[in-house]
Amino acid sequence: MTTSAVGGATPRAGNGADVRTLGDLTPRNGSPSLAPSANGAHPSPDAAPVRSAAAPAPVGVSLVIPARNEARNIGWVLEQIPDCVDEVLLVDGGSRDSTVLMAERTLPHVRVVTQDGPGKGNALRTGFRHATGELVVMMDADGSMSPAEIPHYLHFLDNGYDFVKGSRFIAGGGSLDITALRRAGNLALLTAVRSLYHTTITDLCYGFCAFRRVFLDHLDLRSDGFEIETEMVLHALKAGLRIAEVPSLELPRRSGRSNLHTFRDGARVLNVVLQERKRPATQSPRSR
Ligand SMILES: Nc1nc2c(ncn2[C@@H]2O[C@H](COP(=O)(O)OP(=O)(O)OP(=O)(O)O)[C@@H](O)[C@H]2O)c(=O)[nH]1
Ligand SMILES: [Mg+2]
């Protein structure tokens, strides 16, 4: 469906994106504590600070960027970060090039964090642990995702959704990067997820997402590799989070080589899809 706002709150930016609500969404009136207030502030169930109506504090937004040998790309990404982002965490995966130097040169206040294990999944989990914003956005460092899209994700978090994922395969989205093989693999995995988890999501393996940090425990992330994106989506579905998709255009990696191995990582994603069927969900935040 196309919607400009959920709950009638004032959007931060990016109004008018084509959005589909997904999964088994709880009606808004089932959880009044999460409803955006008229001024767009976000009372949240657990830890969110109480804000006075007279002087609402701005919502903190953390951007987590995993990067491994992206020296030639990271500057392009960081110089486009929109003002709505309060904190940028670069999670370095032991880059052997000048990724960190380039990042600090482009954005002096960037927080560089070193991951404590291998893989993109480990990097993201490390970044999420260090993030302090109420809202967390994740995106890649290779220039394949445009920071200009970040406000679209925040718009839907601002308006009642808990987890917002980019989709290359809904109207307005696309990919200038994906190969025919990867497209076929994505489609096969997506079809399996749609059937096994009774969902209508349109993209599974895409690393441009955003969520409310208060739900990090519900996402219960454990993956070390690229399968973390699938794990996030499946755990969000199983936990009953309110999920929205926004269209996203995947650009070609600007420079350098992919870290992804189509067959090895595809098999890891499939394994997550199958294993998650057997694992019980974390307690739904809606059942409290
Ligand atoms: N910190 C960290 N970042 C990683 C690691 N592996 C990949 N990344 C980053 O994760 C993001 C996605 O990795 P890519 O290699 O671009 O994978 P991909 O987007 O599936 O592949 P392409 O479409 O070919 O670019 C990039 O920003 C990488 O630098 C890792 O082990 N540690
Ligand atoms: Mg990439």
Please indicate, yes or no, if residue 284 is contained in any of the structural domains.
no
Report the residue count for the chain. Answer: 288
The identity of residue 211, as a single letter, is F
Question: Which of 156, 138, 171 lies closest to 249, judged by CA?
Answer: 171
Please indicate, yes or no, if residue 288 is contained in any of the structural domains.
no
Residue 52: predicted pLDDT: 40
Nearest CA to ligand 1 atom 32: 93
Domain containing 46 equals: 33-278
Q: What is the 3-state secondary structure (H, E, C) of 71-93?
A: HHHHHHHHCCCCCCCCEEEEEEC
Compute CA distances 130 → 156, 164, 201, whole Å: 23, 20, 29
The rounded Å distance from CA 25 to ligand 2 centre is 30
Check if the beta carbon of residue 149 is closer than 8 Å to that of residue 246. Answer: yes
Please indicate, yes or no, if residue 23 is contained in any of the structural domains.
no
| Ligand 1 atom nearest to 140, measured from its CA | 27
Please indicate, yes or no, if residue 53 is contained in any of the structural domains.
yes
Pocket test for ligand 1, best of 88, 120, 177 (most atoms within 8 A of CB): 120
Please indicate, yes or no, if residue 137 is contained in any of the structural domains.
yes
Greater confidence, 222 or 287? 222
For range 167-171, the mean pLDDT? 97
| Ligand 1 atom nearest to 142, measured from its CA | 27
Task: Kindly state the percentage of the chain with pLDDT values over 90.
Answer: 73
22 pLDDT band, cuts 50/70/90, is very low
Residue 1: predicted pLDDT: 34
Check if the beta carbon of residue 170 is closer than 8 Å to that of residue 202. Answer: yes
The rounded Å distance from CA 78 to ligand 1 centre is 16
For range 118-126, the mean pLDDT? 98
Check if the beta carbon of residue 12 is closer than 8 Å to that of residue 84. Answer: yes
Ligand 1 proximity of 103 Cβ (cutoff 6 Å): no
Ligand 1 proximity of 177 Cβ (cutoff 6 Å): yes
Residue 288: predicted pLDDT: 52
The rounded Å distance from CA 67 to ligand 2 centre is 10
Residue 153: predicted pLDDT: 98
pTM, to two decimals: 0.83
Question: Which of 77, 17, 75 lies closest to 207, judged by CA?
Answer: 77
| Ligand 1 atom nearest to 250, measured from its CA | 23
Ligand 1 proximity of 67 Cβ (cutoff 6 Å): yes
Summarize pLDDT for 34-45 with one digit per residue, the tens. Answer: 333 333 333 333
Q: What is the DSSP letter of 44?
A: -
For range 248-273, the mean pLDDT? 94
54 pLDDT band, cuts 50/70/90, is low
Residue 286: predicted pLDDT: 64
For range 208-212, the mean pLDDT? 98
Domain count, the chain: 1
Domain containing residue 56: CATH number: 3.90.550.10
Q: Got the DSSP string for 82-128? A: -TT--EEEEEE---SSSHHHHHHHH-TT-EEEE-SSSHHHHHHHHHH
The rounded Å distance from CA 278 to ligand 1 centre is 29
DSSP percent split of the chain into helix, strand, coil, nearest 5? 35, 15, 50
Closest ligand, as measured to the CA of 176? 1
Please indicate, yes or no, if residue 97 is contained in any of the structural domains.
yes
For range 51-77, the mean pLDDT? 80
Residue 258: predicted pLDDT: 87
Instruction: Tell me: pLDDT of 189 over 50.
Output: yes
The rounded Å distance from CA 59 to ligand 2 centre is 29
Residue 47: predicted pLDDT: 35
Summarize pLDDT for 85-98 with one digit per residue, the tens. Answer: 999 999 999 999 99
| Best mean pLDDT range from 5-9, 19-23, 35-39, 180-184 | 180-184
Task: Name beta bridge partners: 87.
Answer: 62
Please indicate, yes or no, if residue 11 is contained in any of the structural domains.
no
Please indicate, yes or no, if residue 10 is contained in any of the structural domains.
no
